[in-house]
Chain A
Amino acid sequence: MLEIKNLRAGIEGREILKGINLTINKGEIHAIMGPNGSGKSTLAKVLAGHPQYEVTGGEIIYEGRNLLEMAPDERAREGVFMAFQYPIEVPGVSNAQFLRLAYNEKRKHLGEEELDPLEFKDLLKERAKVVEMDASFMTRSVNEGFSGGEKKRNEILQMAVLEPKLAVLDETDSGLDIDALRVVANGVNQLFTPENAIIVVTHYQRLLNYIVPHFVHVLADGLIAREGGKELALELEAKGYDWIRTVDKGAGAPAN
Chain B
Amino acid sequence: MSTAELLAKQEYKYGFVTDIESDMIPRGLTEDTIRLIVEKKNEPEWMLEFRLKAYRHWLTMTEPKHWPNLTYPKIDYQDVIYYSAPKQKATKKSLDEVDPELLRTFEKLGIPLTEQKQLAGVAVDAVFDSVSVATTYKEKLKKVGVIFCSFTEAIRDYPELVKKYLGSVVPTNDNFFAALNSAVFSDGSFCFIPKGVRCPMELSTYFRINNAESGQFERTLIVAEEGSHVSYLEGCTAPKFDKNQLHAAVVELIALDDAQIKYSTVQNWYAGDEEGVGGIYNFVTKRGKCAGKNSKISWTQVETGSAITWKYPSCILQGDNSIGEFYSVALTNHAQQADTGTKMIHLGKNTRSTIISKGIAAGKSNNSYRGLVKVMPKAEGARNYTQCDSMLIGSTCGANTFPYIEVMNNSSSVEHEASTSKISEEQLFYLQQRGISQEDAVSLIINGFCKDVFLQLPMEFAVEATRLLGLKLEGSVG
Binding site for B on A (CB under 8 A): 48-52, 71-73, 75-77, 81-82, 84, 87-88, 90-93, 98, 101-102, 105-106, 109, 141, 158, 162
Contact = CB atoms under 8 A, between A and B. Distances in A.
Contacts of A105: 434-437, 440
A102 B448 contact: no
Interface in B1-52: 1-2
B432 A93 contact: no
A73 B432 contact: yes
A92 B450 contact: yes
Contacts of A98: 431, 434, 444
B463 to A, nearest CB: 14
A91 B429 contact: no
A102 B436 contact: yes
A51 to B, nearest CB: 6
Given A51-B2, A93-B447, A98-B431, 13 more contacts: A51-B425, A73-B435, A75-B433, A76-B433, A76-B435, A84-B430, A88-B424, A92-B447, A92-B448, A98-B444, A105-B436, A158-B434, A162-B434
Interface residues of B, number: 26
A221 B81 CA distance: 73
Given A73-B438, A88-B427, A93 B444 contact: yes
14 contacts: A52-B425, A72-B433, A73-B435, A73-B438, A84-B433, A90-B444, A92-B448, A92-B449, A98-B431, A98-B434, A101-B440, A102-B435, A105-B434, A105-B440
A242 to B, nearest CB: 33
A93 B438 contact: no
Nearest to A102: B434
A90 B427 contact: yes
Contacts, number: 78
A23 to B, nearest CB: 23
Contact of A88 (B430, B438, B448, B452): B430
A81 B435 CA distance: 9
Contacts of A90: 427, 430-431, 444-445, 448
A207 B440 CA distance: 35
Nearest to B455: A92
B426 interface: yes
A160 to B, nearest CB: 13
A75 B436 CA distance: 11
A66 to B, nearest CB: 18
Given A93-B445, A93-B448, A101-B444, A50 B435 contact: no
Nearest to A78: B435
Interface majority SS (helix, strand, loop, mixed), chain B: helix
Given A93-B445, A141-B448, A71 B432 contact: yes
B457 to A, nearest CB: 15
A91 B358 CA distance: 13
B426 A88 contact: yes
Interface string B71-112: 000000000000000000000000000000000000000000
Nearest to B3: A51
B156 interface: no
A174 B142 CA distance: 67
B230 to A, nearest CB: 29
B451 A72 contact: no
Nearest to B2: A51
The 10 A-B pairs with the shortest beta carbon distances in the complex, nearest first, are A92-B448, A93-B448, A76-B435, A92-B451, A102-B434, A88-B430, A72-B432, A73-B432, A105-B435, A77-B435
Nearest to B427: A88
Among B426, B433, B452, max chain A CB count under 10 A is at B433
Contacts of A82: 433
Given A51-B1, A88-B426, A93-B444, A76 B432 contact: yes
A75 B437 CA distance: 11
Contacts of A102: 431, 434-436
A75 B429 CA distance: 12
Contacts of A101: 436, 440, 444
B427 to A, nearest CB: 5
Contacts of A49: 432-433
Nearest to A158: B434
Nearest to A97: B444
A82 B1 CA distance: 20
Q: Which of A48, A71, A93, A162 has the most CB of B within 10 A?
A: A93
Contacts of B431: 90, 98, 102
